[in-house]
Amino acid sequence: MRYFSIIFVLCLTLSMVQAQQTSFVNPFIGTSDDHGQTDPSATIPFGMIKPGPETIPRGNGGYDYQSQQLKGFSQTRMSGVGCIGVGGNLLITPFVGTACKTLKMDKASETAIPGYYSVTLDNQLKVEITTGRTAAIYRFTYPATETAGIKINFKHSYGKHIAEEHSIIGDNAVKGFVRSACTCDLGSYKFYYYIEKDKSTYKPEDNDSELLWKFQTEPNEQIILKIGLSSVSAEEAEANLKKECSNQSFEQIRTNARIAWENLLGQIQVETSDEDLKTSFYTRLYHACQTPFTINDYSGSYKGSDGKVYSQQLPYYHGWSIWDTYRTKYPLLSIVCPTEYKHMISSLAELYKQGKPRSATKTEPFLTTRTEHSIITILDALQKGMFDGSLDELLPLMLKEAEDISNDSPDKALERGYDFWGVSELAGKMGNKELKKEFSLRSKEYRPIWLQKFKDIGPTSDIMHGDGLYEGTIWQYRWFVPHDFDWVIATLGSKKKVLSELDYFFENNLFNMGNQPDIHVPFLYYYLGAPWKTQKLVRQILLEPTTNYYGTHEKWEKPYIGKIFNTTPQGYLKEMDDDAGTMSSWFVLSSIGLFPVCPGIPYYWINAPIFDTVTLHPTSQQEFKIHVNRPDAECIYIQKAILNGKVLNRSWLSYNEIMQGGDLTLELGKLPNKHWGHNTDFIKSLLKK
């Protein structure tokens, strides 16, 4: 496809200038024992194929850093998602001797960098993997043996295996499809593949959804295996493979993958003497850019969630986890990679036309999870000038979705109110005053439930799943009214009263950074005219040991006291899924001092960055630079802000101000400046429009 060729040339050019960031990425961060559920697979930004190791036992991405045993290497996964993960298809197992033997890794040899994974096994067999967008290439280096081989398991999957078909082509190729259940076994996906290797072989053995290639090898003999994927057909999978791998060596493909990552990661440059902090930052930016997947074939074809074949030359994205990602990830991507972000939003709009449900259909073209709050996601893009589609066609489909939003638990009532507000705002953009008014009123239907369940805090307010809440407590969901927070303030009595209750919430460790429902709450002090409280609190969450009591489903008897974000395989809190880059995006946005006010409103709170300098490259022509004047490490509070040479007394920036480029200087001090950023009237006016 012409688009991807252009992107490659741009990547090559920019990488000559920005060739440092990948050295700070450690893909093993968050891969150990339910501390993030990330994986070290070889991948390119938003690539469809993600080949990587399958350990025994495994995490949700197929891998647990603590394990030394391997089943093999699968080709698909979705980073950081819950239940038991999704993907794990087409398990490739190279072997020496018997094909049934469990593989053991030499952990000291294991390497993972952006676009490349390698490990040597105890039988002296070395495995290297690199990848393009739709195709991967394996390089196996064998010892001298008469009993070498490669096994392919077509049934392997994290979720329920549903179906597979394969056809052997000569002695060295196989093609077919696999179908498996999506996350939490909701819905299913089906994709096609084409696999070929370069070593002459005995006739392959085909036995009950497993294929064995057996051969002899000389000392250090290298065998190349290539795999192409497609959502449309095995023929398209073969064409994709040939496009990406036929005329390039393993090393060339590896270099291309590195260049793609250098280009993307270089969109944000941070300066600090703390290299561990840079590793944390760039690894989390790397995690944020794993999904959604670009699933077009190079011919342009792709399947929709309705099972129909479509075609377009611009990238089509799939693989959503929007209940998580709309909060932080898409507001981040709108700055970091606006071109890709715009295509993602366009793809999400197309999903509505395909009959978008809240979770996966039974005819998904590839891995996916859930799509609640797509209304807010598209509204946010529209407000930023990043959606060019027709609202005339889209809004009726959104209205249908809004009417079907569940209201059977207190948290869902709050979330429905937010989506209804989104519909109201979209109707206003269309000039439909009647519909805007109707859904503005409906966005407040949650209020009686809030008064009944959330206004008065009692002894049952700290129970996980209390009153049927999803992965949270009354305390944590209480603050999830981003579109109507002024009403909450008025209902509780005053800003002073809300400040007191927020202080109690954090001082008594009722906050849960390990899950999404309250991750915006540290920034609510901005609404209350006390941004200095956020500046202190967010720095603590980013950098310092804190007391944490909550897992995904229960409150622990004994808290974990320590840092939330680490640069070890235990990179996150216990039970804290990265959730398709949501938590990584929270870290990135908070650390550079820009956090979305309320998705659907195109503004970002200005926080104190933890770096000395932050340089954003929102476009190839523009640069937005944040200078941090911090006399010493104890200076954490914003004293003064200067935007493009003029004093800035407000505590937010618009999306357009960032994207147009400029210079923001922040003067920090040891004591709070309680006058800077205390006026929130502008945000009130935005919410009341």
Q: What is the rounded CA–CA span in Å between residue 117 and residue 49?
A: 14
- One-character DSSP codes across 467-503: GG-SSS-HHHHTT--TTSHHHHHHHHS-HHHHHHHHH
Going by pLDDT thresholds of 50, 70 and 90, the confidence category of residue 208 is confident
Structure tokens given for 689 = 């429009």
Going by pLDDT thresholds of 50, 70 and 90, the confidence category of residue 2 is very low
- Half-sphere exposure in the Cβ direction for 334 (13 Å, CA): 35
Residues 537-559: what's their mean pLDDT? 95
The pLDDT tens digits of the residues spanning 621-666 come to 889 999 999 999 999 999 999 999 999 999 999 999 999 999 999 9
Per-residue pLDDT at 685: 64
Q: Is 432 in contact with 413 (CB distance < 8 Å)?
A: no
Residues 403-424: what's their mean pLDDT? 93
The pLDDT tens digits of the residues spanning 127-146 come to 999 999 999 999 999 999 99
| pLDDT at residue 308 greater than cutoff 60 | yes
Per-residue pLDDT at 688: 59
| pLDDT at residue 17 greater than cutoff 60 | no
Angle, in degrees to the nearest 10, between helices 329-336 and 582-592: 60
Question: What's the first-to-final CA gap in the chain, in angstroms?
Answer: 43
- Quote the pTM value: 0.95
Structure tokens given for 646 = 């003029």
Q: How does 326-339 read in b/e, with b if 16+ C-beta sit within 10 Å?
A: bbbbbbbbbbbbbe
Which residue type is seen at 636?
Answer: I
Per-residue pLDDT at 631: 95
Q: What share of the chain has pLDDT > 70, as a percent?
A: 96
Structure tokens given for 265 = 């990661």
Tell me the domain boundaries of the chain. Answer: 21-266
* Backbone phi, psi, residue 654, to 5°: -80, 160
Given this structure, which CATH class describes domain 21-266? Answer: mainly beta
The pLDDT tens digits of the residues spanning 71-115 come to 999 999 999 998 899 999 999 999 998 877 789 999 999 999 999
Structure tokens given for 574 = 């216990």
Residues 571-583: what's their mean pLDDT? 95
Per-residue pLDDT at 8: 45
Q: What is the rounded CA–CA span in Å between residue 555 and residue 548?
A: 9
| pLDDT at residue 16 greater than cutoff 80 | no
- One-character DSSP codes across 355-392: T--SB--TTBSS---B-TTHHHHHHHHHHTT---S-HH
| pLDDT at residue 536 greater than cutoff 70 | yes
Per-residue pLDDT at 686: 63
Strand partners, 543: none
**Average pLDDT along the chain:** 94
Going by pLDDT thresholds of 50, 70 and 90, the confidence category of residue 565 is very high
Residues 36-53: what's their mean pLDDT? 98
Per-residue pLDDT at 620: 76
Residues in CB range of 249: below 8 A, 6 or more apart = none
| pLDDT at residue 357 greater than cutoff 90 | no
Q: Is 401 in contact with 356 (CB distance < 8 Å)?
A: yes
Q: Is 412 in contact with 472 (CB distance < 8 Å)?
A: no
